[in-house]
């Protein structure tokens, strides 16, 4: 088993020019502290991946990296262990997390948040919602199916070229519908910014803040999610009324009286 440091950006994958080497060093310093490296080593030891290749995206809460297991690609999401991670969380999501977790320190909450995303991804996958399949997690590290191919990761919907907006609408109705009717969940922060577009179909990501369809906030959040996509579809030249969209996905099954 290689040392933990050797599992991140193996030399055969490293960029050649100094500027990109410097960017990698910055990412190493930001994300891969000792505890995270130990988590990566443990997950690699469980056979979930051989090594982490390079970053796909990074933000204030964490980053996503491409990894490989033999010839198969994987995605590794790493949350930053920091109290700033939670400053952007809505109150309802933090309340749900604290209710589910027995810890109150920020490190423990991050671990709980990572576990929650893994669990919700599995619940959505079982319900037939297109999400990255969860493969494993430990501490602040989550391993998932890689959405994309050897040429690169699938783009976010906001950056994708959509050839058929009407087909996209039907696809969104199917995904929202499966989320609500089968998984009994509302995403709560869904938009073209956190939806991937792969092989002309949407893939839902960033699901840790999802709540049950009977939650008091569920209806309001679903209406906001629907509004985000209604406006986006209108910009694509396929206008749709939010009320029509809401009814099509089963909005009447969302709210305090909904059964889970």
* Alpha-carbon span 201 to 5, nearest angstrom: 37
* Alpha-carbon span 85 to 214, nearest angstrom: 27
- Choosing from 17, 33, 125, 206, which is the catalytic residue? 206
Catalytic site includes residue 189: yes
* Alpha-carbon span 58 to 29, nearest angstrom: 13
Total count of residues recorded for the chain: 260
Catalytic site includes residue 206: yes
DSSP 205-220: ---TT-EETTSTTHHH
Helix, coil or strand: residue 256: coil
* Alpha-carbon span 42 to 62, nearest angstrom: 19
User: Which residues are known catalytic residues?
Assistant: 189, 206
């Amino acid at each position: 088993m290689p040392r933990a440091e050797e599992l991140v950006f193996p030399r055969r994958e490293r960029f050649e020019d100094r500027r990109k080497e410097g960017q990698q060093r910055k990412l190493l310093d930001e994300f891969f502290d000792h505890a995270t490296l130990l988590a990566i080593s443990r997950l690699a030891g469980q056979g979930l991946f051989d090594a982490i290749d390079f970053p796909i995206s990074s933000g204030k809460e964490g980053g996503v990296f491409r990894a490989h297991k033999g010839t198969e690609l994987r995605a590794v999401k790493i949350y930053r262990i920091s109290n700033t991670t939670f400053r952007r969380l809505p109150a309802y999501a933090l309340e749900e997390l604290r209710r589910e977790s027995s810890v109150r320190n920020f490190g423990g909450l991050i671990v709980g948040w990572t576990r929650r995303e893994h669990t919700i991804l599995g619940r959505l996958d079982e319900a037939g919602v297109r999400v990255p399949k969860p493969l494993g997690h430990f501490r602040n590290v989550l391993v998932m199916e890689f959405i994309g191919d050897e040429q690169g990761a699938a783009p976010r919907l906001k950056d994708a070229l959509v050839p058929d907006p009407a087909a996209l609408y039907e696809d969104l109705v199917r995904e929202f519908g499966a989320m609500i009717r089968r998984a009994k969940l509302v995403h709560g922060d869904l938009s073209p910014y956190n939806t991937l577009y792969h092989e002309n179909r949407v893939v839902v990501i960033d699901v840790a803040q999802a709540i049950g369809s009977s939650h008091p906030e569920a209806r309001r959040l679903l209406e906001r999610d629907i509004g985000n996509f209604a406006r986006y579809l209108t910009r694509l030249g396929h206008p749709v009324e939010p009320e029509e969209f809401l009814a099509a996905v089963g909005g009447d099954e969302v709210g305090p009286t909904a059964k889970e």
